[in-house]
Amino acid sequence: MFLEELLQSPDFRPAIENLARPFRERWGLPEVHQLGLVVPDVENAADALTKRNIGPFFIAVGAPRLWRERGQERRVRGKMALARYQGVELELLEPLDGSDFYTGSVDPDGRPVLHHLGFHVADVDGWADRLARAGYPVWVRGRLGLGPLRTDFAYMDTRGDTGVIVEFIRWRIFGIRFVPPGPVLKAIGGLERRLGFRLKA
């Protein structure tokens, strides 16, 4: 599925909440927090969406502190961008150096492709273990850090039942759980655009 299909829906947020609804209701998942979108070039995709009044995007480059894929730790490096649109976090992701985890979702025409649905939870490992015991293995367990910010995440292989990957996410700042507010992402993204820099993880 392409982001464009969702943007063309008369009601964006309800269209998001209908994604994988039977699976989400069966497991009692919270509302969708994030659409993970794979693009061939984060900078180009962020610029194109910003011109449509989505963004500006906060863009970061670097390497996660942890990337354990199918049980094997890897060194990966990549670029991501975040913005909020109508209450949903949009995450743009380029294919990584060191893993092909996102590569298979790249559209040759450059359109943002839905890769995963992200859910902000208090206990990433608790949710991941619960689904893993039911036959949905952890594909990637990871951790990001940027100053006092910490992000724990787990990608679950739920494609057979949902058509997409499910991600559990927990953001913390100074150890306190929080959800990055849209205005903060927008302000940092705007500052990056004006000054021509990118935050490095």
Tell me how far the alpha carbon of residue 170 is from its chain's centroid.
12
What does the pLDDT read at residue 188? 82
What does the pLDDT read at residue 201? 62
Q: Distance between CA 149 and CA 72 in Å, rounded?
A: 25
What does the pLDDT read at residue 1? 94
Q: Could you read off the pLDDT tens digit of each residue along the chain, which spans 201 residues?
A: 999 999 999 999 999 999 999 999 999 999 999 999 999 999 999 999 999 999 999 999 999 999 999 999 999 999 999 999 999 999 999 999 999 999 999 999 999 999 999 999 999 999 999 999 999 999 999 999 988 889 999 999 999 999 999 999 999 999 999 888 888 888 888 888 887 777 676
What does the pLDDT read at residue 156? 98
What does the pLDDT read at residue 29? 95
3-class secondary-structure state, position 195: helix
- The DSSP result for 26-85, as a single string, is HHT-----EEEEE-S-HHHHHHHHHTTT--PPEEEEE--SEEEETTEE---BEEEEEEEE
Q: Distance between CA 166 and CA 186 in Å, rounded?
A: 25
Burial state string for 64-78 with b = 16 or more CB within 10 A and e = fewer than 16: beebbbeeeebebeb
**Where are the domains positioned within the chain?**
3-14+34-200
Q: Quick one: 3-14+34-200 is in which CATH superfamily? A: 2,3-Dihydroxybiphenyl 1,2-Dioxygenase, domain 1 (3.10.180.10)
